[in-house]
């Protein structure tokens, strides 16, 4: 039992994601309050891990860990956490962290909170639940807790540094894995790169049907922008996955983010909240997006889009 905080970092192609730095930064803050250490945990193969401002960086290096494998990574992290008994284990509430956090919680029998936006010194976790419509404050019981934190909740700068990584040996045998990495999937080529656009017209469920996407395309064309979307639009097959903004899509930071019919679930906000100018049009005056957008209007997106087309 310690007052250490483990941050399970994530990386791809040798590059750590922003959320890892954000969590390390937050861990440091908590560690200094608790008198423990902020420990960055790097699981992978041949990753340059001396990039964090952590008190300690533990690196577990094995060829079997070269690609994210939920089973392998899970087993390694479980063994490590069991051995070191930190006070808190932090994951990103991301495609990889989501595979591990709750699983680890059930394996170890420790409390786990998800959708975490903030963690208090008393370990009270503030969670953004119900599609952003509710903020919950929860307190974990027990000596150890797990927090799966929304990306973008803490500043990344505080986590950046150059603490030398200490490589430790593989804590568990990985020879009989049931999950085998086959290949990486690259984004479908040929489509525009929405992360490179200065202007995005982004559509959500409110667009209603596939045929209406055309209206957004027209508007985007007039604005010299490109159409992006929230997840449901892509899941419905109305736009290719390359256009999806948000947690499971792309992070964008355009000069203009014009949102039509997007209510603003936390997963989407993760991908666009640092846009320079956010304008949201939505029929629901209580849509969470209005808490984030710079300008908002409670109006019918079709009417607004068509009126804009005439004016442009």
Which positions from 210 through 229 interact with another protein, judged by CB under 8 A?
210-215, 223
Instruction: Report in angstroms how near the CB of residue 296 gets to another protein at its nearest.
Output: 3
Residue 189 CB contacts under 8 Å (≥ 6 apart), including other chains:
none
Alpha-helix runs per DSSP H in 89-128: 97-108
Instruction: Report in angstroms how near the CB of residue 4 gets to another protein at its nearest.
Output: 19
Instruction: Report in angstroms how near the CB of residue 57 gets to another protein at its nearest.
Output: 23
User: What is the DSSP secondary structure assignment for residue 78, as one 8-state letter?
Assistant: H
Q: Does 6 help bind another protein (rule: CB under 8 A)?
A: no
Nearer to another protein, 37 or 105 (CB): 105
Contact 31, 119 (CB under 8 A): no
36-55 footprint of another protein as x/- string (CB under 8 A)? --------------------
Q: Is 142 left (phi over 0), alpha (psi -120 to 50) or beta?
A: left
Q: Does 79 help bind another protein (rule: CB under 8 A)?
A: no
Contact 228, 191 (CB under 8 A): no
Q: Does 121 help bind another protein (rule: CB under 8 A)?
A: no
Residue selected from 160, 221, 235, 274 as contacting another protein according to rule CB under 8 A:
235
Q: How many C-beta atoms lie closer than 10 Å to residue 295's C-beta?
A: 11
Which helix (DSSP H) or strand (DSSP E) does residue 61 occupy? strand 56-61
Residue selected from 100, 201, 203, 220 as contacting another protein according to rule CB under 8 A:
100
How many residues of this chain interact with another protein, rule: CB under 8 A? 117
Q: Does 101 help bind another protein (rule: CB under 8 A)?
A: yes
Binding segment for another protein among 30-38, 42-50, 156-164, 300-308 (CB under 8 A)?
Answer: 300-308
C-alpha gyration radius of the chain? 21
What's the CA dihedral at 59, 60, 66, 67 to 10 degrees?
-90
Nearer to another protein, 62 or 78 (CB): 78
CA separation for the pair 4, 2 (Å, rounded): 5
Q: Does 85 help bind another protein (rule: CB under 8 A)?
A: no
CA separation for the pair 97, 187 (Å, rounded): 21
CA distances from 150 to 24, 54, 97, 146, 254 (A): 13, 20, 10, 13, 21
Nearer to another protein, 2 or 67 (CB): 67
Instruction: Report in angstroms how near the CB of residue 231 gets to another protein at its nearest.
Output: 8
Residue selected from 64, 158, 174, 304 as contacting another protein according to rule CB under 8 A:
304
Q: Does 19 help bind another protein (rule: CB under 8 A)?
A: no
Which positions from 149 through 168 interact with another protein, judged by CB under 8 A?
none
252-291 footprint of another protein as x/- string (CB under 8 A)? ---xx-x------x-----------xxxxx-x-xx-xxxx
Residue 58 CB contacts under 8 Å (≥ 6 apart), including other chains:
39, 40, 41, 42, 80, 165, 166, 168
Q: Does 234 help bind another protein (rule: CB under 8 A)?
A: yes
Contact 161, 52 (CB under 8 A): yes
Q: Does 195 help bind another protein (rule: CB under 8 A)?
A: yes
Binding segment for another protein among 23-31, 44-52, 136-144, 156-164 (CB under 8 A)?
Answer: 136-144
Instruction: Report in angstroms how near the CB of residue 11 gets to another protein at its nearest.
Output: 11
Q: Does 32 help bind another protein (rule: CB under 8 A)?
A: no
């Amino acid at each position: 039992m310690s007052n250490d905080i483990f941050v399970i970092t994530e990386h791809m192609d040798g590059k750590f994601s922003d959320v890892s730095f954000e969590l390390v930064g937050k861990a440091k803050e908590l560690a200094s309050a608790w008198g423990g250490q902020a420990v960055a945990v790097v699981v992978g193969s041949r990753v340059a891990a001396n990039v964090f401002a952590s008190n300690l960086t533990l690196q577990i290096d094995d060829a079997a860990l070269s690609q994210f494998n939920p089973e392998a990574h899970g087993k390694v992290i479980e063994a490590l956490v069991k051995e070191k008994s930190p006070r808190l284990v932090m994951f990103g509430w991301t495609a990889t962290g989501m595979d591990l956090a709750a699983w680890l919680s059930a394996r170890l029998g420790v409390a786990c909170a998800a959708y975490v936006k903030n963690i208090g010194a008393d370990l009270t976790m503030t969670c953004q639940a119900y599609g952003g419509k509710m903020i919950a404050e929860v307190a974990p019981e027990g000596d150890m807790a797990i927090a799966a934190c929304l990306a973008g909740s803490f500043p990344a700068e505080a986590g950046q540094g150059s603490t030398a990584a200490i490589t430790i040996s593989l804590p568990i045998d990985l020879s009989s894995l049931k999950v085998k990495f086959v290949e990486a999937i690259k984004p479908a080529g040929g489509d525009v790169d929405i992360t490179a656009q200065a202007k995005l017209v982004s559509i959500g469920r409110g667009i209603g049907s596939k045929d209406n996407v055309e209206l957004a395309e027209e508007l985007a064309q007039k604005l010299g922008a490109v159409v992006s979307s929230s997840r449901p639009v892509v899941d419905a097959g109305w736009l290719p996955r390359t256009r999806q903004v948000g947690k499971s899509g792309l992070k964008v930071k355009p000069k203009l983010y014009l949102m039509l019919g997007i209510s603003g679930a936390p997963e989407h906000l993760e991908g666009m909240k640092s846009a320079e100018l956010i304008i949201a049009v939505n029929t629901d005056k209580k849509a969470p997006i209005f808490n984030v957008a710079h300008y908002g209007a409670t109006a019918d997106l079709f009417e607004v889009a068509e009126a804009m087309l005439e004016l442009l």
